[in-house]
Structure 1
Amino acid sequence: MSWKTQLRRVLEATGLIGPYYRWREARLAAIVSDPVDDGLPMPPPALLTLVSGAAGQAWYSERGREDAAQFRALALEQGIDLTQPRTVLDWGVGCGRIARWLAADVTAAGGQFLGCDIHPKLVAWCAEALPGRYLRNGLRPPLPLARASLDLVYSHSVLTHLTEDTARAWLAELRRLLKPDGCAILTFHDETYAHAWGPPQVAERLASEAYVVWNNALEGSNYLSAWTRRAHFRALAEADFTVAAIIEGGADFPTQAIAVLRPRDPSPPAQRLV
């Protein structure tokens, strides 16, 4: 174990990892980034860093546009056309990296755009800068939304920061919120992504462990990262969903794996014996 890893473990054990991690984020936010004007509101450096670990505007803008286009296309393949009135949730909206490319279109089509996040500053910025309604959520469900109220829920790199038990709870909650013909599009760290982009120890552990948590502290933040094999994610999801597709993570470019999920029909009520 390297001295850096040893230091992190000491900070975790003493409860000092939170202040240290926030101090590190503040230093990263101070690094000057070339400005990008894409015609949409741009969050301040501190919020960019809170979400992505850096204050770079180019990545935020370009990858946000690309991910929004991919989610839109995947939803359309499942019959969820965002040019029609739809109710859409960005679960873990952050500072709107993807929402800023989708929210206006959803609302312009007569739909409702919702976003939620664990961090109040991110929720406040989105509510001020973007169309739609934005909510703060806890680490665990529920969300204050009605059962079967959503056509589409998507998330990018949210499950990647949750322990397995928390991830299971949220999958069940997303199933509760989706309409029977709705769709969930969720990214996660799979074994391909781990081997190409993750810490070497994670790839090694995935050979024998189905779900690996790296830096098990500050759950829900970028400090904790979660990794799972595609087959295990399928098994996790199938408790609540039918898996329409799982797209492998990128080996040549850092794109996370994507799961496209349709709500599983609820079990029929037990028949009463007469």
Structure 2
Amino acid sequence: MENRHPASAHSGFIKPARRYVRRFMEITGLIGPYFRWLEHRIARRPGEPVIDGRPMPPRDLIVAVSGTADERWFSERGKSDAAKFMTIAKRYGLDEANAAAVLDWGCGCGRIARWIADDVIRGGGRFHGADLNPTLIRWCAANLPGFYTENSLRPPLPLGDSQFDLVYAHSVLTHLTEAVAVDWLAECARVLKPGAIALLTFHDETFAEHWGPPEVSPALKTRPYLVWNNALEGSNYLSAWTTRAHFGALARTADLDLLEIIPGSQEFPEQALAVLRRR
């Protein structure tokens, strides 16, 4: 989830008073067309164009990954998230100026990739992006440096073993059920070189308390992995929430050592960030 106001992706599109209608649409499959119609409406809202020196995706693609058509947020938050990822990666030994191989898993329409790919390639490295949505992948391949490939909801990626010095993903695990998330943690480990780093964000208990639907935070006290709006897996409609302790346990089953978790923010919508190393 990439929203400025995270709860909008979970409860704001379809009001809680209409839960029975929403559940009917989920069961019948009507929720998909309805959710896309709502995204289309958001994309049509007037907004100020932003020129930041990089290709800007069409507004409907921005909405698909961010839940908002705000180009300024897309640009500024993408730049700040990219800087955060690379600062942490450098702290754990990555040097993008020294032929690093980097994978943006769940790259969307390049919100973060557009700020990182150039530096990696200038340093003699390789930059790859992967995403579930073929429309987003086609836009990235046509407009951004690097290699971009489509993946399915479940692994594997169409990539070989032990290829990458860094895998990062912003708000990808946040839209997966637990079994699928566990498979993807193992897949991240597979494509990482031994000793390489993964940076993965998730909705932790702090984020849930301050930014999630009100029912989620109490539920996490008894259920360590919670799925909200269990339909359209892989999209912003579904959101997944887990405790930091449970996330660490899941990572350890996937041949990944947990080095650090930076908790979600109380001041603004910032997801928790896990720093993982492949064994």
Q: Could you tell me the TM-score, scaled by structure 2's length?
A: 0.93
Q: 1:33 aligns with which of 44, 47, 53?
A: 47
- Tell me the secondary structure at the aligned position of residue 145 of structure 1: coil
Residue 257 of structure 1 is matched in structure 2 by: 272
2:26 counterpart of 1:12: yes
1:82: how far off?
1.0
Residue 142 of structure 1 is matched in structure 2 by: 156
2:246 counterpart of 1:224: no
Matched residues in 2 for 1:89 and 1:5: separation? 38
Deviation string for 1:128-185 (max 9, x for gaps)?
1100000000000001111101110000000000000000000001101100121000
1:40: how far off?
0.6
Matched residues in 1 for 2:101 and 2:16: separation? 48
Q: 2:99 aligns with which of 77, 81, 85?
A: 85
- Tell me the secondary structure at the aligned position of residue 215 of structure 2: helix
Matched residues in 2 for 1:180 and 1:114: separation? 18
Residue 212 of structure 2 is matched in structure 1 by: 198
User: In the alignment, residue 250 of structure 2 is paired with which amino acid?
Assistant: L
Matched residues in 2 for 1:11 and 1:202: separation? 22
Matched residues in 2 for 1:33 and 1:118: separation? 27
Deviation string for 1:39-96 (max 9, x for gaps)?
1100001000101111100110001010000100110111011121111000000010
Deviation string for 1:182-201 (max 9, x for gaps)?
10000000000000000001
- Tell me the secondary structure at the aligned position of residue 143 of structure 1: coil
In the alignment of these two chains, the number of paired residues is 264
Residue 43 of structure 1 is matched in structure 2 by: 57
2:114 counterpart of 1:100: yes
Residue 126 of structure 2 is matched in structure 1 by: 112
Residue 271 of structure 1 is matched in structure 2 by: none
Matched residues in 2 for 1:52 and 1:222: separation? 8
Matched residues in 1 for 2:232 and 2:213: separation? 18
1:123: how far off?
0.1
Matched residues in 1 for 2:60 and 2:210: separation? 28
Matched residues in 2 for 1:183 and 1:162: separation? 21
Q: 1:245 aligns with which of 237, 253, 260?
A: 260
Listed as ranges, the matches of 1:148-187 within 5 Å are 148-187=162-201
User: In the alignment, residue 88 of structure 1 is paired with which amino acid?
Assistant: V
- Tell me the secondary structure at the aligned position of residue 179 of structure 1: strand
Matched residues in 2 for 1:81 and 1:8: separation? 47
Residue 249 of structure 2 is matched in structure 1 by: 235
Matched residues in 2 for 1:27 and 1:198: separation? 23
1:8: how far off?
1.2
Q: Return 5+ residue gaps in structure 1 as ranges.
A: 265-274
Bigger RCO (CA 8 Å, 6+ sep): 2
Matched residues in 1 for 2:201 and 2:239: separation? 13
- Tell me the secondary structure at the aligned position of residue 153 of structure 2: coil
Residue 132 of structure 1 is matched in structure 2 by: 146
Deviation string for 1:183-232 (max 9, x for gaps)?
00000000000000000011121111000000000000000000000000
Matched residues in 1 for 2:135 and 2:47: separation? 21
Matched residues in 1 for 2:61 and 2:201: separation? 21
Matched residues in 2 for 1:72 and 1:62: separation? 16
Matched residues in 2 for 1:150 and 1:185: separation? 12
Residue 10 of structure 2 is matched in structure 1 by: none
Matched residues in 2 for 1:69 and 1:255: separation? 14
Residue 72 of structure 2 is matched in structure 1 by: 58
Query: Pairwise CA RMSD of aligned residues?
Result: 0.9
1:2: how far off?
3.8
Deviation string for 1:8-28 (max 9, x for gaps)?
111101110001111111101
